[in-house]
């Protein structure tokens, strides 16, 4: 499987990234978590997506506990994590309310916490999780430079940023990617300039919730979801693949060359995502799915 450079000179990730968001809900022992990590890497999914807040500030430590059973795996994987959201939690007694914080002090401390939890000496890609209205772009750049010089963060990017917010921070410190939500039930990035910017700057976006949190497969009875499921099902039957594979292929068809984050413990679901890498779809099929999600044909 060909590795994926997010931007020229940027981090190299697997073309499908394994999301660990719900690991705290899996109820697995450390050996079971390690087995999942090993299976992912065996499939060529060598990149793992985290955030400090996942599982109530617990998932990074669960992953690190498993990784400690086979520390040699660290050389075969890439770790992505996010920070900048402050949750009210027993794990963070100093947080008075949910808020965002992109200050130098918070970024540096968050990285230290993540390194300790993940039991690693470096983060391959650090993302600011959400835009902070009080973000001082120069202060962020100072923190990132400090972390990079210390070898604790290799590359830096953002998540859920608008094009203007991305441009501001990128003017101070080079951003590798913008991790955003995109699927047929959330089409805004296709039309608000987010993916235009990604393509212009050659910064491949990462995509969270590529299956709309599972709503593309089931569990959502809204008219839009039913339309999308029907089109995915009929087109998938025509193409000889699963609807989930087609949903991933729909994302991969975009010329910004997205990198989806598959948040699943099921190895079969990861295989469905990987199958999309070799499933070409034509523009009419792409627009057929777009139309199902938008509820109208193109103007």
Residue 171 exposure: Cα atoms within 13 Å on the Cβ side: 9
Alpha helices by DSSP H, listed for the chain, are 30-43, 54-57, 59-67, 104-118, 137-149, 163-170, 188-191, 194-201, 223-239, 243-252, 267-275, 283-294
* Beta carbons of 219 and 229 less than 8 angstroms apart: no
Residue 203 exposure: Cα atoms within 13 Å on the Cβ side: 22
3-state secondary structure string, 227-254? HHHHHHHHHHHHHCCCHHHHHHHHHHCC
Token pair of 184 as six digits: 């047929």
Concatenated DSSP letters of 11-38: -EE-SSEEE-TTGGGS---HHHHHHHHH
Q: For residues 250 and 246, what is the distance between their CA atoms, to the nearest angstrom?
A: 6
Active site residue 54: yes
* Beta carbons of 177 and 10 less than 8 angstroms apart: yes
What residues act catalytically?
54
């Amino acid at each position: 499987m060909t590795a994926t450079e997010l931007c020229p000179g940027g981090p190299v990730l697997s073309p499908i990234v394994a999301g660990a968001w719900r690991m705290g809900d899996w109820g697995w022992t450390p050996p079971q978590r390690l087995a999942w990590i090993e299976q992912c890497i065996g499939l060529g999914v060598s990149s793992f997506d985290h955030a400090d807040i996942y599982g109530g500030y617990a998932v990074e430590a669960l992953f690190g506990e498993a990784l400690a059973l086979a520390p040699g795996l660290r050389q075969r994987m890439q770790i992505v994590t996010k920070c900048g959201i402050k949750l009210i939690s027993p794990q963070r007694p100093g947080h008075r309310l949910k808020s965002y914080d992109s200050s130098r002090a918070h970024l540096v401390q968050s990285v230290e916490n993540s390194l300790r939890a993940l039991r690693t000496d470096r983060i391959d890609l650090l993302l600011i999780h959400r835009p902070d209205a009080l973000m001082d772009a120069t202060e962020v750049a100072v923190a990132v430079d400090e972390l990079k010089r210390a070898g604790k963060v290799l590359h830096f990017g953002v998540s859920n940023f608008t094009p203007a917010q991305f441009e501001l921070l990128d003017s101070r410190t080079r951003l590798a990617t913008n991790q955003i939500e995109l699927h047929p039930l959330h089409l805004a990035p296709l039309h608000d300039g987010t993916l235009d910017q990604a393509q212009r700057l050659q910064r491949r976006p990462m995509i969270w919730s590529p299956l709309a949190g599972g709503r593309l497969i089931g569990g959502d009875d809204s008219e839009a979801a039913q339309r999308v499921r029907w089109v995915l099902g009929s087109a998938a039957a025509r193409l000889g693949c699963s609807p989930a594979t087609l949903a991933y292929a729909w994302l991969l068809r975009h010329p910004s060359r997205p990198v989806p984050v598959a948040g699943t413990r099921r190895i079969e679901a990861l295989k469905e995502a990987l199958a999309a890498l070799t499933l070409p779809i034509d523009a009419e099929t792409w627009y057929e799915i777009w139309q199902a999600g938008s509820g109208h044909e193109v103007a």
